[in-house]
Each structure stands twice: as C-alpha cells, then as structure tokens.
Amino acid sequence: MRKFLMLIAVFALILAFGCLIPGPVTPVNNTPMPGSDRDAHGCIPSAGYTWCDATQKCIRPWEENCTGMLVGNDSDEHGCKGSAGYTWCHALSKCIRPWEENCTMLLVSELDNGCNTTAGYMYCDAKQKCLRLSEENCTTEIIPGGDTDEHGCIGSAGYTWCAAKSKCLRIWEETCTGAMPGSDKDIYGCIPSAGYTWCEAKLKCIRPWVESCSMSYDDAVKIAQRSACVQHGMIGNYSRYDMNQHFWWIELKNVDQPGCGAACIVYGVNRSAEINWMCTGLILPIEDKARTFCNTTNVAKVYVCGNNIRTVSSLMGGGSTFYDENGTKIVQCPLVAPDSMSSQCRLLLLGNNCVEKEIC
C-alpha cells in the first residue's frame, strides 16, 4: 500500500513538471509589407524615397538632387538672375551674360542706332529693333491675304490691279488688255494695239520701228517730176528735209527766169509739190560767162564759185578746169590724189571756202 502511494506521488510530480518543459518554438515574422512604411510626409523609405524640403516633395537622391534654387527666382540686388547666367555690369549699368557681351564701356563707333555691333547686333528697320541675324531674320512676315492694296488686290496671292478691265487679276492667268486685238482702230483706221500709228507725211498707218514717218527723197523726187516744178528747171543735187513741216526742199537748176533761183517744195502731208522762186533781179556776169561752157565738148558740169568758173570733164580722169570771170583759163587739174596735185589745184579744189553754185 505504501509503495502504491509512492508511485502515485511520483506520477503526480511528473505531470506537474512536464507542463513546464518548453516545446518547439514557431518564429514570428515582424517585417512590414512593401509600401506600408510611409513616413510623416508620405514618402516610402522602402522604395528609396526621402523628403526634400527644398523642392517640397519625395525624391530618390540618385535620381534627383535636393536643391532649393529654381531658375529665375535667384535675382540679386540688381535684378540679375544668376541661375540664368546673368551678372551685373557697372560699365554698362545692366545685367549681362559675359559670354554674350563684354562688360566694357562701348564707344560711339560700336553702336548702331543703339545696337551693340561688337556683340553682333544690328538695327532692323523692318522690325524696329536690334537683332542678331544668326538668331533672327530681319524681315516682316506677311500673312497671305493681309497685304491688300488700295484696289483690294492681294499682292501675296499674285494679284495686281488692271485699269483696262477694272479688276484684280493674275497676269500669268489673264492679260490686262481692255479690247480684243484689232478692235481698237483710231479715226484713221490704224490699230494701236498692233503698233500702228498714223503718218501724215505718207498718209498711211505705219509701225515706227519698221518704217520711218518721213517721206523718202526718192518719193519726193517722183512727186516733183510729176509737178510743174520741172517745167521751169531741172531737179538739182542739193536737197534737205524739214522735220517740223514735213516737206522736202529740192534745188532746181537751169531755171528759165534770169536772175532767179528756184526750189521745188514737196509736201508729205498731201503729197503735192510747188515751185519756190528766189529772185533778186540781179544777173551776175560770171554766171552768164559760165553758161557759155554748158554746151561745149567734153563738159559734164559747170559751176561758179566766187570769181572762178569750174568745168568738170566728161572724160574719164579728165578732172576739172578753172577759168576766171572773163572766161580765161587759170589751170587744169587732173583727177589725181591730193598728194599728187599742184599747190594751185589743191588750193582751188580743197582750200577754197566758197560755196559752189551749179550752172548746168
């Protein structure tokens, strides 16, 4: 009985102390979940973010610097913005960028309308300001349609005013003519659009660059030969044309009235001719003497020059023979070069200043 009680006591002790023996320990995970570690500013340290007071936001230091100076908000006492590269220049009394402009007092020669030429600036009239051509063009931009002229034509679109048609047109699309070619005849029937104008001298329409408006000498001679002029004399060699009155003055020789000279006047306006007498009433004795040579053998022409009579031989190389006022022979001058002439012939033929008058 005693042993039994002892066994019960031992078993009771074993049960009592067995409850105090520790068994296997299960570990507890206290690591926070990603994103659940936000700080007081809302930054997530586990993601690398920290708070930046300068920029007032969460940043990753390896991605963005935490600086508090924003470009443009660092003006100094002169208003110069250091973050933009500007510093104060006392010489020029303004903020400058040293790599763009030297801080030296400019000479007058370095200024052009107030522009700093040493810094590459020039004055642009079109824009009324200083500029650098490398940075900005000196042209005013014309907005298409914004350059309407006084007629409402848009030059930038190629339109110009046509007075003939009283409208705006593009000359490569439409010609500026008011009439169809050939429909603009004047009172004479001339067509100006084709270049024709009326010529009074020829009594017809002409193009001035093709045909002159003055009557030709040949036409005037033909008219004179059909007129009464040739009834009183022969057509001479001397003639002239009056540009203002549009007539030809043609000399008449061997006229049938002693003591008179005459010319045939041929008018271009009506293509008529009349004789113009020039009578002095004085018949010079030397002219009478000269006429005595007109019908002599081998004489082609007879002239009077001062106190000398000159006959021109009809023979080849015969030259001229000079006579005095009484008909006495002075010298015979063959037709030779001036260097081969006698001094007397050279004087009479080349050095005589009188004007010859043709007798026959």
Of the candidate ranges 4-8, 99-103, 210-214, the one whose mean pLDDT is the lowest: 4-8
Q: Is the pLDDT of residue 109 over 50?
A: no
Please report whether residue 182 resides in a domain. no
pTM of the entire structure?
Answer: 0.29
User: Residue 354 belongs to what domain range?
Assistant: 285-358
**What distance, in Å, lies between the first and last C-alpha atoms of the chain?**
208
Whether residue 344 sits in one domain with residue 289: yes
Whether residue 293 sits in one domain with residue 352: yes
Q: Is the pLDDT of residue 111 over 60?
A: no
pLDDT number for residue 145:
61
Q: What's the gap between Cα 147 and its chain centre?
A: 22
- Say how far apart CA 359 and CA 299 lie, in whole Å: 12
Please report whether residue 249 resides in a domain. yes
Whether residue 353 sits in one domain with residue 295: yes
Whether residue 297 sits in one domain with residue 275: no
Comparison of pLDDT for 11 and 164, the residue scoring more: 164
Q: Which of 256, 257, 255, 275 is nearest to 265 (CA)?
A: 275
- Say how far apart CA 291 and CA 294 lie, in whole Å: 5
Please report whether residue 138 resides in a domain. no
Please report whether residue 184 resides in a domain. no
Contact 321, 333 (CB under 8 A): yes
Whether residue 354 sits in one domain with residue 299: yes
DSSP string, 233-247: SEEEEEEEEETTTTE
- Say how far apart CA 102 and CA 110 lie, in whole Å: 12
Whether residue 313 sits in one domain with residue 340: yes
Whether residue 342 sits in one domain with residue 303: yes
- Say how far apart CA 105 and CA 47 lie, in whole Å: 56
Please report whether residue 26 resides in a domain. no
- Say how far apart CA 257 and CA 302 lie, in whole Å: 18
* Average pLDDT, rounded, for the chain: 79
Whether residue 317 sits in one domain with residue 258: no
pLDDT number for residue 159:
86
In sequence order, the 6+-apart residues with CB closer than 8 A to the CB of 175 are: none
What's the structural domain count of the chain? 3
Last residue of a domain, one of 235, 250, 279: 279
In sequence order, the 6+-apart residues with CB closer than 8 A to the CB of 177 are: 164, 165, 193
- Encoding tokens for residue 106? 């400019």
Please report whether residue 262 resides in a domain. yes
Whether residue 298 sits in one domain with residue 273: no
Whether residue 298 sits in one domain with residue 272: no
Contact 283, 289 (CB under 8 A): no
- Say how far apart CA 249 and CA 267 lie, in whole Å: 9
- Say how far apart CA 74 and CA 89 lie, in whole Å: 17
- Say how far apart CA 112 and CA 129 lie, in whole Å: 11
Whether residue 337 sits in one domain with residue 300: yes
Taking each continuous run of H as one helix and of E as one strand, the counts in the chain are 4, 21
Please report whether residue 146 resides in a domain. no
Most confident range, picked from 153-157, 238-242, 272-276? 272-276
- Encoding tokens for residue 290? 């000269």
Last residue of a domain, one of 244, 264, 279: 279
Please report whether residue 53 resides in a domain. no
In sequence order, the 6+-apart residues with CB closer than 8 A to the CB of 178 are: 164, 165
Backbone angles phi, psi at 341, to 5 degrees: -80, 155
Question: CA angle 203-230-248, nearest 5°?
Answer: 40
Burial of 283 (0-12, 13-18, 19+ CB in 10 A): exposed
- Say how far apart CA 271 and CA 203 lie, in whole Å: 8
pLDDT number for residue 197:
85
pLDDT number for residue 108:
44
Q: Is the pLDDT of residue 72 over 60?
A: no
Last residue of a domain, one of 123, 149, 178: 123
